[in-house]
Amino acid sequence: MWPSHPFDFDAAAALGDSDKLKEECGIFGVLGTMDAANFVALGLHALQHRGQEAGGIVSYDPNHGFNSARRFGYVRDNFTSQKVMETLPGALSIGHVRYSTTGSKGQTAIRDVQPFFGEFAMGGAAIAHNGNITNADALRRELIERGSIFQSSSDSECIIHLMARSLQRSIPERMEDALRRVEGAFSIVAMTRTKLIGVRDPLGVRPLVLGKLPTGYVLSSETCALDIIGAEFVREIEPGEMVVITDKGIESHTPFRPKKSRFCIFEHVYFSRPDSILGGRSVYETREAIGRELAKEAPVDADLVCPVPDSGTPAAIGYSLESGIPYAMGIIRNQYMGRTFIEPTEQIRNMGVRLKLNVNRALIKGKRVILVDDSVVRGTTSRKIKEMILDAGAAEVHFRIASPPTAWPCFYGVDTPQREKLLAATMSEEEMTEHLGVDSLKFISLDGLYRAVGEAKGRDNDSPQYCDACFSGEYPVEPADQIEKGFEMKAAE
């Protein structure tokens, strides 16, 4: 059903972005600087790529208590308003940008927008969560049976209710108690009246970093958001670590049983911004290395290497450098494509990705073109782009993909289609090549991807260094809720 009003037309969803995996959210917190919410707004702006559906900020000021603002849409459209920001005073604040993976996906109610707030006997606390709780359904049933009243459809609200039921004395202790019941992936930024708290799950699936301001501290999903406010990067929060930050300094706790880290490898491929640092490595340089590795594994005679903008650009540069084939901007992205002002008639809808991407015809005509993209999910956008390239007169089209085939859904905080809707789950590479109608299609191998992210010997199949479940089907945490709903795990080999 298409909306009747042109401003209700979601161009991004309609024109191909639904064919990309979506990171579900970004989190940011600041303690120790006046008007902390303004810094949080800037940090969330830098993390906008991690969630564009909605955003929220909570602040605390001794004279005004806790205050919150939650809005649909982009940070720039909501949290640049002086009128809004004046309602968020104080030197302590946290924020969240959201793309739903649980709850009413695509139909978010304002009550689902984080941070969530709870009033406890020892004072209030707000919490923002990046990740996905894989036993949330079971926890919710148990909590409701014991009298909890849920306000949202989000899995993250379970944490607040578990904290409320805890018998521990302080809020950080209650949070530790609650998170020991939680399975799945979580990076959390939370706040009390005096404390900024950061936690990562024992596997460290989702990122969280610590930064330093002249008068305080910062917690962020990525280092790029530290840069925007001039904060100094200190270190990553370790897997399984909880930091409690006050005006007296930082306390570090390890409340969980130690496990081997399984950081999400797709953060390196696509989710994180290329100007961020992950695990001491530049994301941009890693993506360029992926392109180089792809050129070694899947060479082809061609005239041009072109990225599918913008996510394929660093890998395309790496492919070009390694292969010696010239790099060219064969596809130009309209940077101002958001919600279209045009009535979405059938004719407009049929324009498809052309509203967002346009082929550089003078460059492409008569050329054998290598298109480099980060992933193939459903394949719908890849087919449209191939058609555009051929319409522009390309002699050949070769796809090179900077990740292995995405054949399994993610249950740790990434919006992924059901398995049967993933192209690689139902087709071989040869069948996908025919389906997309390209001259050739090659994916980087899983070992090649591991080499590109710094594992010289490739993947340790007995004890993988990263979470790569979307490629391998090997889930480091059993997705209990999904199994209960009928999801079938990969059979042991």
Tokens 């899983």 belong to which residue? 446
Q: What is the DSSP string of 276-331?
A: SEETTEEHHHHHHHHHHHHHHHS----SEEEE-TTTTHHHHHHHHHHH-PPB---E
CA proximity to 240, closest of 225, 220, 262: 262
CA distances (Å), 15 to each of 5, 52, 74, 350, 388, in order? 17, 16, 18, 9, 14
- In the residue annotation, 25 being an active-site residue is answered as yes
Cα distance from N-terminal residue to C-terminal residue, the chain: 44
Pairing of strands 249-253, 466-467: unpaired
Q: Cβ distance 384 to 17 under 8 Å? A: no
Half-sphere exposure in the Cβ direction for 274 (13 Å, CA):
15
Tokens 């790099």 belong to which residue? 327
Q: What are the structure tokens assigned to 233, written together?
A: 């990067």
As a whole number of angstroms, the distance between CA 133 and CA 278 comes to 23
Q: Cβ distance 30 to 43 under 8 Å? A: yes
Q: Which of 25, 264, 306, 470 is catalytic?
A: 25
Q: What are the structure tokens assigned to 330, written together?
A: 């064969």
Q: Cβ distance 125 to 190 under 8 Å? A: yes
| Catalytically active residues, by annotation | 25
